[in-house]
A and B are shown apart, each in its own frame.
Chain A
Amino acid sequence: MVTDEATKTRVGSLIEGARSSSWQSRIAVALVVALLVLLLGQAVREPGQFVSQLIIGITNGAIIALIALGYTLVYGIIELINFAHGDNFMIGSFVGLTVLSGTFLGFQFFGAIGAGAGTFLKIVGVLLALVVAMAVCGLLNVGIERVAYKPLRNSPRLAVLITAIGMSFILQNLGLVWKGPAQVPFPELISDANILPGDAIVFRWKDLFIVGVTVPLLIGLSYFISNTKQGKAMRAVAQDKEAASMVGINVNRTISITFLLGGILAGASGVMYGLFNGITVFNVGFTQGLYAFTAAVLGGIGNLTGAVVGGFLIGIIGSMADQYIGVEWTAIVIFSVLIMVLVFRPRGLLGDRSAVQGGGE
């Protein structure tokens, strides 16, 4: 009976919500439906192209989702938009590239692993690049938190945001010093060839690689957060820092671990981005970071599932915009999504902490 009652009220409130929904949300819903219909039209006209584009969107989305998780983890725990996170991702791609080249600071540790290397060597190289980039970015993120954010933990929110912007510029210029202003090519380690027979639908080895790395990372993260003691501590600190410290949780260490996790994901994502797109550049973190932030906001910032869902959605929106509107408009489309979401539904799709004043606390 009790559950019945509960369902009834929930359904009732849903109907009520639909009735009392503002003109704004109606416009938003109408807009989304119209766009979906248009897309569906395209899908029917040329299904092969549509599905291939969808696959590219999902792979791009996986990369974005991994960055978005870093934003959402940090926001969930200290309510900071870690503006430098995108640049951490860029550093990740540079670290990966350096590992594959085998040379660092003039010392050659091993021969460069290029397109001509054997399959086994390629696998080892990619794994090594991933692991090193993850470690470097994780530690870098922890270091940034220690140096720049920790002293400001009780300062006004915008003071910390300005610091984060400063850190972002510092990292970006480190990248500029490191690899120069031009785009740097990544070795072609993973085949561009289609796995599926025929060329109606394109699903490349590259796409498989991205999915194959992302899924275990997501499972690992989810296990860590929900099953380990440290994960539990993170959730506790996210809910209430003071209470968490009262029950004996080391808040500073928990925050550091959160930054470590975010950095690890950004590092992996950076290497994947480089291997997938074949290039990287010192300012790639700005746009990719904003895309990922959009994804985190779209899913509901502070919400881990939301960040992943948002990441895939933004990836798909981006690839559809590339195909059907024009590559030069993609950034505009995604930034418009960011603004629309914040204006019409600041809680995001799955909702956690509100972006609206006074909410979510």
Chain B
Amino acid sequence: MRKYWLPALLIVVAFIFPIVDEAFETLLIYPVIIVTVYVMLALGLNIVVGFAGLLDLGFVAFYALGAYVVGWLASSQFNQVSFSLWTAAVSLTGEPLEGIHISFWLILIVAGAFTALCGVIIGFPTLRLRGDYLAIVTLGFGEIIPRFFQNGDDLGGFNLTNGTIGIKAVDPPGIQFLPESLDAWKQFGTLDLHPWYYTILMLVLIAIYVNIRLRDSRLGRAWISVREDETAAAAMGINPVTTKLWAYALGAVFGGIAGAFYGSFIASIFPTSFSFNISILVLCMVVLGGMGNIYGVILGAIALQGLNFYLLPKINEWVHAIGDSLGISLLSHADIPKYNFFLFGIILVLMMLMRPEGIIPNRQRAEELHESDAGSGDAMRGVSRA
């Protein structure tokens, strides 16, 4: 039973957080929702990087795809057609709504399936490449997909993505069958963020559960063995290709669902919100927390986004105060949060130099990372440099 008390406590804290937040008027719920979305992304990337040992530098592609699925299926983007299915969006005029409007809950599943498919499509041709090249190919895809969305407003005359203007007025989620008294849950609004918070919290809890079950499953052990020594794993009857493809597909599912939630939470989807920086930010979370360790990854996500939302603005204030009191205008006008990626770069370098296994290491992973004479030259393993 001792094993369970800490996770149980954390879950309870997570559930009562909005009540505490409201009681003390700390107004943290909005940033906390964003942080939770990133926890979801980090959990997804952890499957690819942490479990299977494939460095994915284009994880943002799945995030973007998930968001655009919501954009396509729950807005007036395709106003040539009119199709509604269990949607929470209400027509003000009484006319049927323009565009496709499908229930958010259904879209979550569609987005997951779609991004899984994309993960397989991206992964399949690249899997025979060595680890670092595979990273570059995923980076290539991660760059192509947002650029494609940016240019996708005129594909032979067809407006798929609305270009740089982006898809706006995305339908909010909602649970229709609830009574009138639960207004906030019937259609999620921008005033009461509790339904949003509990939705992403449930999604993350499911993601954690799936992560734990995957780690301990036959597939999870296959990932570890392929990561450690692909040749040996293949000799033991594990098919490296399908094993790696599963990692891509499942990692992509979490990325896609996180993107779908984010898209409907923000309600407007721009191609510029899906830059390479996000891939690196999520990678940084996984590396900082501890590759392959679920709790470590969650901690990494919370720590880095906490830094982004809370600590850097605070440090900025301090620096300004120091600058004002000393009369140094350079300091009092410094814009510290702008340089957050400077800090993330330093974190990546220092972690790799000092503690490559992360804050909360996965024991197996730590041993692999500290093994100095490495073998086969695969994935996270060293290369024989003889």
Contacts and interface: CB of A to CB of B under 8 A. Distances in A.
A330 B244 CA distance: 31
A286 B276 contact: yes
B147 A331 contact: yes
Given A163-B348, A240-B386, A158 B133 contact: no
Nearest to B340: A173
B356 A159 contact: yes
Contact of B151 (A155, A173, A290, A332): A332
A108 interface: no
A181 B368 CA distance: 40
A156 B287 CA distance: 14
Interface in A157-179: 157-163, 165-170, 172-174, 176-177
A79 B151 contact: no
Interface string A19-51: 000000000000000000000000000000000
B332 interface: no
A346 B132 CA distance: 12
Interface in A264-312: 286, 290, 293, 297
Contacts of B126: 339, 342-343
A154 B136 contact: no
B352 A152 contact: yes
Contacts of A80: 132
Nearest to A330: B147
A170 B347 CA distance: 10
B372 A154 contact: yes
Contacts of A166: 344-349, 352
Contacts of B198: none
B314 to A, nearest CB: 19
Contacts of A174: 342
A336 interface: yes
A113 to B, nearest CB: 27
B345 A332 contact: no
A169 B280 contact: yes
Contact of A157 (B147, B341, B342, B383): B383
Interface in B351-386: 352-353, 356, 368-369, 372-374, 376-386
A332 B136 contact: no
A169 B348 contact: yes
Contacts of B376: 358
A3 interface: no
A223 B382 CA distance: 33
Given A166-B347, A328-B150, A335-B144, A173 B129 contact: no
A163 B353 contact: yes
Contact of B383 (A148, A173, A361): A361
A227 interface: no
Contacts of B129: 342, 346, 355-357
A152 B130 CA distance: 19
Which secondary structure dominates chain B's binding surface?
helix
B143 interface: yes
B283 to A, nearest CB: 7
B131 interface: yes
B148 A332 contact: yes
A297 B133 CA distance: 10
Given A293-B136, A361-B384, A332 B147 contact: yes
B339 interface: yes
B63 to A, nearest CB: 18
Contacts of B386: 240-242
A156 B374 contact: yes
A90 interface: no
B303 to A, nearest CB: 16
A161 B230 contact: no
Contacts of B276: 286
Interface string A306-338: 000000000000000000001011011001101
A357 B377 contact: yes
Contacts of A361: 377, 383-384
Interface string B106-144: 000000000000000000011011111101110111011
A173 B132 contact: no
A157 B382 contact: yes
B133 A162 contact: no
A342 B349 contact: no
A343 B125 contact: yes
Contacts of B374: 154-156
B130 A356 contact: yes
A159 B369 contact: yes
B65 to A, nearest CB: 16
Contact of A165 (B140, B144, B280): B280
B345 A169 contact: yes
B137 A152 contact: no
A148 B144 contact: no
Contacts of A290: 139-140, 143
Contacts of A357: 128-130, 230, 377-378
B377 A162 contact: no
A195 B135 CA distance: 44
A162 B132 contact: no
A155 B130 contact: no
A179 to B, nearest CB: 13
A337 to B, nearest CB: 9
A346 B139 CA distance: 16
Given A162-B55, A163-B352, A328-B150, A156 B136 contact: no
Contact of A156 (B150, B280, B380): B380
Nearest to B145: A332
B338 interface: yes
A115 B133 CA distance: 44
Contacts of A331: 143-144, 147
A118 interface: no
Interface in B8-53: 53
A81 interface: yes
Contacts of A216: none
9 contacts: A80-B132, A155-B369, A156-B381, A158-B55, A169-B345, A339-B141, A346-B133, A357-B130, A357-B378
Interface of A: 79-81, 148, 151-152, 154-163, 165-170, 172-174, 176-177, 181, 240-242, 286, 290, 293, 297, 326, 328-329, 331-332, 335-336, 338-339, 342-343, 346, 355-358, 361
